[in-house]
Amino acid sequence: MGTKTGHLMNPLPESPTTVLWLYYLLAQHYDRLGSIQQAHMYIDRAIQHTPTLIELFMVKAKIFKHAGDAREAARLMEQAQALDTADRYINSKCAKYMLRANMIKE
């Protein structure tokens, strides 16, 4: 009796992190379906919500890669890498995206 429970007609408010990860999931979902505009809309909302989360920039870079814009994908991956320069995984992903965009000298 003392616990809070939601109900369809009277739901509990969602946690801000739940909304963030929902945007993240929807962006990946629409990217996979090929709905690039929808994917951009959701990943932009997620980045606006939490602009310091590396994974969001990685997904945005992937969306641009799938849309055929390798240079913008590399730029976004570089932006993600700048958030944590010690992360070897993101460093290698950034290098891979830059090579794909023929940005060898950078």
Q: Say which CATH number the domain at 41 has.
A: 1.25.40.10
Has residue 95 been placed in a domain?
Answer: yes
> Would you say residue 7 has pLDDT above 80?
no
Closest CA to 50 of 14, 19, 91: 19
H/E element, 82: helix 70-83
Pairwise CA distance, residues 52 & 55, whole Å: 9
Has residue 10 been placed in a domain?
Answer: no
Packed helices 54-67 and 16-33: angle between N→C axes, nearest 10 degrees: 20
- Cut 0.85: pTM above it: no
Q: Are 23 and 46 in contact (CB under 8 A)?
A: yes
Has residue 87 been placed in a domain?
Answer: yes
Q: What is the per-residue pLDDT across 20-74, written as a single tens digit (0 to 9) for each?
A: 999 999 999 999 999 999 999 999 999 999 999 999 999 999 999 999 999 999 9
